[in-house]
A = this chain, B = another copy of it.
Amino acid sequence: MACFGDRVIERMRRLGHPLCVGLDPYLDRLPPPFRRGAMVPQQPDTAQAVEEFCCRTIDLIAMDVAIVKPQVALFERLGWYGWRVLERVIRYARAADLLVLLDAKRGDIAETATAYAQAYLAPDAPCSVDAMTVNPYLGPESLEPFLVEAEQAERGVIVLVRNSNPDSSVYQAVATPAGPFFTVVAASLAQWQERLARGTTGWSSLGVTVAATHAEDTERIRVALPHALFLVLGYGAQGASAREAVRGFCRGPAGLEGGIVSSSRPILFPAASSDAGARAWEQGVRSALVRATTELGEAVV
């Protein structure tokens, strides 16, 4: 098995675009065909509705994207039924030959961080995935258990560095002698970025979040971390264009590459299908998918 950086880049080269579909099963947005009763979060039939919604979405997109990104919070909200469904959705996606990036944003220290890392990156874990997102607030050493596990198991770790919600600047863009705060975080990852960049494509299995809505920041992060994969936030729902989303990408054999551009709601919940039947929702998902992959495909040419 190749390392995560190679696996994702090779698939994206083949497909010709960097789109990642976020699997965000918001209960109050599930289209009518999937709804069951009052959708009380901790009821088993609500978890089943979420499972069916996610698996049907996977059916619709699996041939056309490299990677999906389940949002853990929306499964966790359902109690242990939700975790059982998350395991099944991960298995379903991997069986459809998709890579899975778990949006978990975990962060803790020492042995506790190891427990989180093993929960998602150990090959035999019930929710074993190809990569996961982690939160750096507790210091660079708090990330090491994730990076060690990723290195051993050829998985990926995406560190929150720069986010796209406007308010994230309140902390992330605070001035420090070395530049805005996020540059301190980025700089501290340089060595691990190198260590996890030993694949054939040259891209690291260490990634970082960047905001398509903050182009200059993205370019600073690219300078600090030339081989880090970018998980690009803010494309679609938050208003960034496809060209803004691929900022900081680098020329590769099949076009610009080096990042994963995430989009969730515009694809999962296309506007016209909010009270439509199954067929209209499916057509809406397919149209939104084709629009995003075409737009991003043109931006990386």
Contacts and interface: CB of A to CB of B under 8 A. Distances in A.
Contacts of A115: 73-74, 76-77
A127 interface: yes
A105 interface: yes
A174 B181 contact: yes
Given A80-B80, A185-B171, A42 B126 contact: yes
Contacts of A244: none
A188 to B, nearest CB: 6
A168 B181 contact: no
Interface string A140-180: 11100000000000000000100101011111101111100
Interface in A275-296: none
A204 interface: no
A165 B110 contact: yes
A33 interface: no
Interface of A: 24, 26, 41-42, 71, 73-74, 76-77, 79-80, 83-84, 87, 105-113, 115-116, 118-119, 124-127, 135-142, 160, 163, 165, 167-172, 174-178, 181, 184-185, 188
A260 to B, nearest CB: 18
B170 A139 contact: yes
Contacts of A140: 167, 170-171
Nearest to A111: B26
16 contacts: A41-B125, A76-B115, A77-B115, A77-B119, A79-B83, A79-B125, A107-B137, A137-B171, A138-B160, A138-B167, A138-B168, A139-B171, A140-B171, A141-B167, A141-B170, A171-B184
A119 B170 contact: no
A80 B84 contact: yes
Contacts of A113: 73
Contacts of A71: 108, 112
A270 B175 CA distance: 45
A50 to B, nearest CB: 12
B135 A137 contact: yes
Contacts of A127: 79
A12 to B, nearest CB: 25
B137 A160 contact: yes
A145 to B, nearest CB: 10
A209 to B, nearest CB: 10
B126 A142 contact: no
Nearest to A76: B119
A111 B165 CA distance: 12
Contacts of A77: 115-116, 118-119, 125
Contacts of A172: 137, 139
Contacts of A136: 137, 171
Nearest to A174: B176
A73 B163 contact: no
A135 B73 CA distance: 14
